[in-house]
Amino acid sequence: MAKAAVKAGDMSHRQTINFNISKYNAAVPRGKTQFYDIESARQLAKNAKWQAVEHLDESLLNFEKQISSRGAKVLWAEDTAQALAAIGEICQLKECKTVVKSKSMVTEEIHLNAFLQQNGIESVETDLGEYIQQLDGEPPYHIVTPAMHKNKEQIARLFTDKLGAPANMPPEQLTIFARHQLRDKFTQAEVGITGANFIIADIGESLLLKMKAMQDLPPLSLKPILLLWASKR
């Protein structure tokens, strides 16, 4: 709370937040144009969500059945300790030294990165905002935009200090630089960890949305993938 009070009065911080929110707000109307009838789409999504919540127990069991039939293995964990123990066992089995991890709030909630580090495993965030925060030793600032409190000059300095990037690179070049850094991690990693935007119970699949900046990173299809998903009513 003390840090929040200081930041609340920091006009430079407030200016950065307002600028980044304005960019987000400008992008939302453009995204809505892909829908012929946005209100109908919103209502359909709302109904589907509540249908899933009302039948969550059945849907989870059906998802387990369907994805297991395709060769996956489902592990149930009732709490953080059980989840970390299961992940640790898999990493040990694979003699894992490096994990690449996509954006996942579940892993934030169970403090997975700290657990892996304590066990001698490097965990590398591959979402650009999460990667920036990890380099700076900070947790995500926001659930959707993890580094929204940083401006381009701060990120450029961070990349120079932590990664040896040339000074004062513009955002486009910073993204390319990060992509090259992460490409090496993708090829080195023994295990991949991801969250899921949606899991599809009737066919046993998951849906992941990936930012355009990272679309050409190598696939992890030949490595074990851990899909983490939290069930909440």
Q: Mean pLDDT over residues 47-64, rounded? A: 92
Q: How far apart are CA 15 and CA 9, in angstroms?
A: 11
Count of domains in the chain? 1
pTM metric for this prediction: 0.84
Q: How far apart are CA 24 and CA 87, in angstroms?
A: 35
Alpha helices (H) in the chain, listed in sequence order = 2-8, 11-32, 38-54, 56-68, 80-93, 105-109, 112-118, 128-135, 152-163, 171-188
- pLDDT value of position 222: 47
Whether the per-residue pLDDT at 45 is higher than 80: the answer is: yes
Number of Cβ atoms within 10 Å of the Cβ of 67: 20
Determine, yes or no, domain membership for 173.
yes
Whether the per-residue pLDDT at 215 is higher than 50: the answer is: no
Determine, yes or no, domain membership for 232.
no
Determine, yes or no, domain membership for 149.
yes
Determine, yes or no, domain membership for 165.
yes
Q: What is the DSSP letter of 214?
A: G
Determine, yes or no, domain membership for 30.
no
| Structural domain span for residue 200 | 35-227
109-166 confidence digits (pLDDT tens):
999 999 999 999 999 998 899 999 999 999 999 888 899 999 999 999 999 999 999 9
164-178 confidence digits (pLDDT tens):
999 999 999 999 999
